């Protein structure tokens, strides 16, 4: 019997307990500040972080149809001026090296809430300074399979052209999609409005068999202290994860094909995938990571197809460990 359900159950109990306790502490701090008129000044953070609220729409057209919408919130962070570097994310210098740009870098992401982090997609907007003009030049996306109806916490980070780009699917993101075909990506330059688009071009199910769009508008809050930001994103990651698992249950009920993590069958699935797509995917050290293929990639090639994978953290890494040959034979039989 698989231990995955047991791990998930324990993780849910732990997250529920910590969320409840930390919510009570947050409410107490906000109430105390209101009662005693505590200062809300927080330096220059209000000029470093812009907040957005909008709608995320997912639609799966084949082989079964399913769609949903929900309200979501994001923060756009000026990485060069942020009072602290967001953990686990790229720094501004790493993003500039990967995209060969020289201007500011902004990170669009959902901030953690009450100790819980679930951000399926984050974007880095990279600018070029030309003749004192700031030009939106490149974009980096980090796509994670944590919170997309799987708990593994792996991610893929790569550079793409923001106006429109097609990139080979190179990461196991959801249990209800394979790794065939390409991602089609498009984003606008952040301003008062925000737009992001991802679709899948599949060799069997056709173009746009899966589409995800984000439309959001900038919002203002009276103060941007850590507690105010915590209140703005209160339970946002939790809601996203709950909705993702609810959609997974609906897809399972509709008999959508369930795809096991490819590592269970082949520990070297990423290396094999790279060999099949080496003309389209370029590994490079610009993100600060090390890959076996780095030495064979020229700097000119790497700028447009710079990829970096992050492995699943413990204990999830244990749950997707490669199966033995005897286990595979039992599954096949």
Q: Calculate the alpha carbon distances from 193 to 190, 217, 269, 294 in Å.
A: 6, 5, 39, 38
Q: Which of 122, 86, 84, 81 is nearest to 103 (CA)?
A: 81
Mean pLDDT throughout 206-215?
A: 90
Domain that holds residue 212: 42-332
Structure tokens at 43: 């330096």
Beta strands in 104-236 (DSSP E): 105-109, 121-130, 133-146, 151-160, 165-168, 182-187, 193-202, 206-219
If you search the block for the tokens 């996203």, which residue do you land on?
240
Question: Rounded distance, CA 142 to CA 121, Å?
Answer: 6
Residue 233: pLDDT band with limits 50, 70, 90:
very high
Residue 133 lies in a domain: yes
Check if the beta carbon of residue 72 is closer than 8 Å to that of residue 57: no
Residue 31 lies in a domain: no
Structure tokens at 136: 């939106």
Question: Rounded distance, CA 218 to CA 222, Å?
Answer: 14
DSSP letter assigned to residue 148: S
If you search the block for the tokens 């109430």, which residue do you land on?
31
Question: Rounded distance, CA 184 to CA 195, Å?
Answer: 14
For residue 243, count other CB atoms closer than 10 A to its CB: 18
DSSP characters over 247-313? HHHHHHHTTPPPPPPGGGT-TTHHHHHHHHTTTT-EE-GGGS---TTGGG--HHHHTTSEEEEEPPP
Residue 26 lies in a domain: no
Residue 216 lies in a domain: yes
- More reliable by pLDDT, 317 or 21: 21
Strands 165-168, 151-160: pairing is: unpaired
CA angle at 248 for the pair 69 and 209, rounded to the nearest 5°: 65
* Total count of domains within the chain: 1
Question: Rounded distance, CA 290 to CA 298, Å?
Answer: 15
Q: Calculate the alpha carbon distances from 274 to 169, 239, 270, 293 in Å.
A: 11, 35, 6, 9
Is the model's pLDDT at 326 over the cut of 50? no
As a residue count, the chain comes to: 333
- More reliable by pLDDT, 289 or 246: 246
Instruction: Report if pTM > 0.75.
Output: yes
Q: What percent of the chain has pLDDT over 70?
A: 75
- More reliable by pLDDT, 25 or 324: 25
Contacts of 249 (CB under 8 A, 6+ apart): none
Is the four-CA dihedral 95, 135, 122, 250 of positive or negative sign?
negative
The secondary element (H helix, E strand) that includes residue 233 is none
Residue 9 lies in a domain: no
Residue 166: pLDDT band with limits 50, 70, 90:
confident
- More reliable by pLDDT, 168 or 44: 168
Strand partners, 214: 56, 196
Check if the beta carbon of residue 216 is closer than 8 Å to that of residue 52: yes
Mean pLDDT throughout 274-285?
A: 60
Check if the beta carbon of residue 81 is closer than 8 Å to that of residue 44: yes
Is the model's pLDDT at 294 over the cut of 50? no
The secondary element (H helix, E strand) that includes residue 70 is strand 66-78
């Amino acid at each position: 019997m698989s231990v995955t359900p047991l791990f998930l159950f324990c993780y849910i109990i732990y997250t529920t307990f910590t969320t409840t306790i930390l919510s009570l502490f947050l409410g107490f701090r906000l109430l105390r500040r209101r009662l005693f008129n505590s200062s809300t000044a927080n330096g220059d953070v209000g000029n470093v972080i812009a907040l957005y609220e909008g709608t995320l729409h997912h639609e799966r057209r084949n082989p079964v149809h399913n769609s949903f919408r929900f309200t979501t919130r994001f923060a756009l962070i000026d990485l060069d001026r942020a009072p602290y570097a967001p953990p686990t994310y790229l720094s501004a210098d790493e993003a500039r090296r990967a995209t060969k740009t020289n201007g500011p870098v902004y990170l669009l992401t959902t901030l953690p809430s009450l100790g819980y982090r679930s951000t399926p997609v984050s974007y880095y907007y990279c600018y070029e300074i030309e003749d004192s003009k700031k030009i939106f030049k490149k974009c980096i996306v980090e796509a994670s399979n944590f919170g997309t109806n799987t708990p593994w916490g792996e991610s893929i980070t790569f550079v793409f052209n923001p106006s429109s780009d097609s990139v080979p699917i190179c990461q196991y993101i959801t249990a209800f999609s394979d790794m065939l075909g390409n991602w089609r990506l498009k984003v606008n330059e952040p301003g008062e409005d925000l737009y992001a688009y991802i679709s899948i071009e599949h060799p069997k199910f056709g173009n746009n068999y899966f589409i995800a769009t984000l439309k959001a508008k900038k919002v203002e809050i009276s103060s941007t202290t850590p507690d105010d930001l915590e209140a703005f994103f209160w339970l946002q990651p939790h809601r996203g994860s709950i909705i993702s698992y609810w959609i997974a249950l609906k897809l399972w009920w509709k008999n959508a094909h369930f795809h096991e993590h490819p590592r269970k069958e082949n520990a070297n699935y990423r290396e094999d995938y790279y060999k099949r797509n080496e003309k389209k995917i370029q590994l490079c050290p610009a993100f600060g990571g090390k890959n076996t293929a780095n030495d064979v990639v020229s700097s000119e090639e790497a700028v447009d197809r710079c990829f970096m994978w992050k492995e699943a953290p413990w204990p999830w890494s244990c749950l997707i460990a490669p199966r033995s040959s005897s286990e595979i034979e039992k599954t096949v039989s």
